[in-house]
Amino acid sequence: MAAPKCLAPRKLLDSTVLQQCRASRCRNSFAGVRSYATGQKKDAEEERESFKGQLYQSTFDRLQRERDEQAKFTQQREAQKAARSGGGGFILPLVLTVGVIGGWFLGQKQLADKDPHSTLPLSRVIDPKHDTAPATLQAAWADFKNVVGEENISTQDADVKSHAGSEWSSYSIQEGDVPFAVVRPGSTEEVAEVMKICHKRKIPVTGYSGGTSLEGHFAATRGGICIDFSRMDQLLALHKEDLDVVVQPAMGWELLNEELAEHGLFFPPDPGPGAMIGGMVGTGCSGTNAYRYGTMKDWVLSLTVVLADGTIIKTKQRPRKSSAGYDLTRIFIGSEGTLGLVTEATLKVIPKPQTTNVAVCTFPSIRSAADCVFKVVGAGVPIAAIEILDDVQMRCINEVGSTSRQWKEAPTLFFKFAGTPSSVKEHVGIVKDLAKKSGSKTFEFARNEQEQTELWSARKEALWSVMAQKKDDSDHVWTTDVAVPISRLPDIIEETKEDITKSGLMGSIVGHVGDGNFHAIILYNDKEHDVAEEVVHKMVKRAIEMEGTATGEHGVGLVKRDYLPHEIGQEAVDLMRKMKQAFDPLCLLNCDKIVRAVKPKPGEVQEW
């Protein structure tokens, strides 16, 4: 009988074959015995298994295991049948009960893992865990280089410091408040790739466009990197018929208006010189035209935003109105780069006014000037802008000599008119009468475009003329603003001016007073910091107690964040913190701004 083939299908391996496999192990079936192990040779008498014998044994063992498993399965099935037909009917309900209870406990655990609260108080916040170890940052640098190119990354000391603060900021940069590197992406897609790298490695990020903000908005409190949008400064699309324009974040508002003027169009928001669209969106800025045209939030149609994990979203299409879900556009306006990085903005524009004009009038006191503003606003005169500069501010402008004329050093109102020639002429006459009734000493209006530029020039020189009074590097400028209901404007301006005078510091009052917003620009040295801080604190506290706001247009940043609970309530601030957590769970984007991410140190928050 021929030897059985051990590799044949199972159905050919009958019991006879198995018997042979078990008993004989096919000793010496081959002339030459195959060995798989090294070592000393055994005695010649020692029997060794042949290769075929090993195959037979392996096949038998496998088949035996399968038969044992089949028998075990049959026994279990018979036992289950017996249980169902006999006294074992309790087993199925028991299994179901155990499953339900187990599922409930599992569900409770999953709910416990999620915070069920609608708000997030600081007491429940877990400190952000970032990774800014040198090895991590160096590895990230190599990744950034692959995205933006080595020439668009800077770690130079002067560069990183200039991207952490400025000499006109109210926030004094602390040691360590600088980024490791400045990264300059050139497109939305590159911004997204940079954020993916930072998200993966837990590297904090601050955004930067014009760098004109005042409240410590771009101080790198967590180190990490700064994303500088300077390469993204283009006007991407102009839809003249629809009166909107699409721009990148580093497009300056002044340059935008120059380009729009060629098409007879106009973008009204006008904050300080040098401001760019990205920062204007981030702070929800205002400007001299706010009384007539509103603030930044009124001129943004939609945004393209890169989120903390690199996701790219667009908040809306281009129509002027929409009721499609949450207003994501407004959520990002004023968020100061804490929720996402704006890489494109679709803005509304309007036709340029047919005619403009400027008038200037002086008053014996700051209160009489503020009273005039109240009368003009109350009369419903459609002024394009109303600005106030006090006597100190006018003196600084004269001393610097940055304008083409000398000014009367008295509280002064600047009016801007816009409309048709006949309407502008009429409005100038109305304002002149109201100013006279408020006690104005002089009233001058421009007779041509050159005079308009000359008269308005003083307003744009306010901050720089005070900064020019600095004597050395120990002198600093603190620029702050508040806004109150228009009826309380005369009171708060007068009281704030008295506080500045009593402090012994040099400080001026400047404001977009048509909408109840004014600024204090205070000069102080290192030794006088606490004195200046107290003046600002009183000014802000007074505004909030008058049902006003701690910041009319400068934003919150680091300097104003601890006033928010007094202004809108702790619960509303906790809701903001919850929103921050939802948009940016790792707290990578501009951490510490607007709402605190960690508990303050003792004495860090000024007493109310």
pLDDT confidence bin for 228, thresholds 50/70/90: very high
- Would you give the distance in Å from CA 97 to the centre of its chain? 49
Domain with 207 in it: what CATH number? 3.30.43.10
CA separation for the pair 313, 515 (Å, rounded)? 34
Same domain, 156 and 64: no
Q: In the chain, what percentage of residues exceed pLDDT 90?
A: 68
Nearest to 553 by CA among 248, 254, 292, 215: 215
CA separation for the pair 185, 59 (Å, rounded)? 66
Same domain, 564 and 415: yes
Q: What is the pTM of this model?
A: 0.80
What pLDDT does 101 receive? 73
Q: Are 534 and 480 in contact (CB under 8 A)?
A: no
**Of 330, 351, 372, which marks where a domain is finished?**
351
Same domain, 368 and 384: yes
Mean pLDDT of the chain: 87
As a 3-state breakdown, the chain gives helix, strand, coil percent values, each rounded to 5, of: 45, 15, 40
Q: Are 155 and 180 in contact (CB under 8 A)?
A: yes
Q: Are 289 and 269 in contact (CB under 8 A)?
A: yes
Same domain, 62 and 22: yes
CA separation for the pair 131, 281 (Å, rounded)? 29
- 150-171 pLDDT per residue, tens: 999 999 999 999 999 988 888 9
Same domain, 217 and 326: no
CA separation for the pair 490, 413 (Å, rounded)? 13
Q: What is the CA radius of gyration of the chain?
A: 38
b/e 353-386 (16+ beta carbons within 10 angstroms → b): beebbbbbbbbebbbbbbbbbbebbeeebebbbb
Same domain, 429 and 498: yes
Secondary structure of 503-530 in HEC code, one letter for each residue: HCCEEEEEEEHHHCEEEEEEEEEHHHHH
CA separation for the pair 118, 582 (Å, rounded)? 11
**Of 206, 228, 250, which marks where a domain is finished?**
228
Same domain, 369 and 347: no
Q: What is the DSSP string of 417-451?
A: EEE-HHHHHHHHHHHHHHHHHTT-SEEEE-SSHHH
Nearest to 375 by CA among 456, 446, 430: 430
Same domain, 337 and 269: yes
Give how far Cα 556 sits from Cα of 61, 285, 562, 564, 607, Å. 77, 11, 9, 8, 18
What phi and psi, each to the nearest 5 degrees, are found at residue 127? -55, 135
- 188-224 pLDDT per residue, tens: 999 999 999 999 999 999 999 999 999 999 999 999 9
Domain that holds residue 257: 235-351
Nearest to 518 by CA among 510, 527, 529, 507: 510
Q: Are 212 and 279 in contact (CB under 8 A)?
A: yes
Same domain, 339 and 421: no
What pLDDT does 5 receive? 41
What is the DSSP secondary structure assignment for residue 89, as one 8-state letter? Answer: T
What's the domain count of the chain? 4
Q: Are 384 and 417 in contact (CB under 8 A)?
A: yes
- 410-462 pLDDT per residue, tens: 999 999 999 999 999 999 999 999 999 999 999 998 888 888 888 888 888 88
Nearest to 582 by CA among 225, 269, 226, 308: 308
Nearest to 204 by CA among 187, 179, 184, 229: 179
Centre a 10 Å sphere on the Cβ of residue 408 and count the other Cβ atoms it contains. 15
- 324-333 pLDDT per residue, tens: 999 999 999 9
CA separation for the pair 326, 187 (Å, rounded)? 26
Same domain, 179 and 249: no
Same domain, 192 and 287: no
pLDDT score of 109 more than 60: no
Question: What is the C-alpha end-to-end distance of the chain, expressed in Å?
Answer: 107
pLDDT score of 10 more than 80: no
Same domain, 388 and 479: yes
pLDDT score of 363 more than 80: yes
What pLDDT does 402 receive? 82
CA separation for the pair 128, 140 (Å, rounded)? 19
Q: Is residue 91 part of a domain?
A: no
